[in-house]
Amino acid sequence: MTATDIAIIGLGKIATDQHVPAIRACRDFRLAATVSLGQSLPDVPAYEDMEAMFAAHPGVAAVALCVPPQVRYPLAVESLKAGRDVLLEKPPGVTLAEVEALRALAERQGCVLYATWHSRHANGVDPARDWLAARRVTGGKVIWREDVKRWHPGQAWIWQPGGMGVFDPGINATSILTHILPDPVRVTRAEFETPANCETPIAARLSLLTGEDAVIDVDFDFRETGEQVWSMWFDTDAGRIELSGGGARTVADGRLLSDGAALESEYARIYDQFAGLIADRRSDVDLSPMTLVADAFMLARHRRTDEFHDEQKT
């Protein structure tokens, strides 16, 4: 089987850390080009705009959009109108409406659109979903606390409108939660802490409610300088299940269902799924993780806190 030529648009930290090695390890894709301002890879043709890249590489059939969400929409439109299949790094856009517009455009163009949620591919997520399928959730807790200076050094776009602030990692939690719980949840309360010099929150506390009125408390914080915590647990009518390491490790009633490290194989599985979607000519655009985030922004009480200044760690 011939590999699909793919181009990466936006060669930032997530692209170089995750997308590049995942594509190179995937037999279904060949990294044919990159488009980025001031960044390139050895032995891969590099361009600073997509029009030039498409002109030079008409065989590129797919693109992975890894630019910040604020500038992703026009690039996705250009790619789809050029007849290319499109993979969107999370979050898929800055608004729900623009992603719905991309979904409609992809359908009209006969292209594949894939809104990725890498944390759903963590080792313990599917075992957790299977375990919860026949159980009723009675309560739960989500804790996502990490050091923004460690994971997003110098990324000022996170603090600008559309950047989501602490919800940039927090949406990983909502992507897991919406995938594994047997029933939908809704946001009933949200409290944000936003630095005085920023437009997006550095911390957030949410309350979610299941269809059967079980409360799930959510704690997101970008200021964790100690142990990084990406965990959640749920009590049910038949025991407790706990996920840690961003969904990599799952323990149900003391029994280990799955183990692994955060980010292990997640992007490899993303590209396996993208290849399958291309083969089937089918899109996958699930907006439920982003809907919870949007609802939190609509309901939030806001509190200004100390200014945030990013001093990059070496």
Query: Measured between alpha carbons, how far is 33 from 43 in angstroms, rounded to an integer?
Result: 9
Write out the catalytic residue numbers.
90
Per the document, the length of the chain is 314
The residue with tokens 């793919």 is 6
- Residue 88: name the closest of 285, 291, 292, 295 by CA: 285
> Which residues face 256 on adjacent strands?
251
| Burial state string for 238-250 with b = 16 or more CB within 10 A and e = fewer than 16 | eeebbbbbbbbbb
Residue 32 DSSP one-character state: E
Whether 199 and 215 have beta carbons less than 8 Å apart is answered as no
Helix (H, G, I), strand (E, B) or coil at 25: helix
Please count the other Cβ atoms lying within 10 Å of the Cβ belonging to residue 193.
20
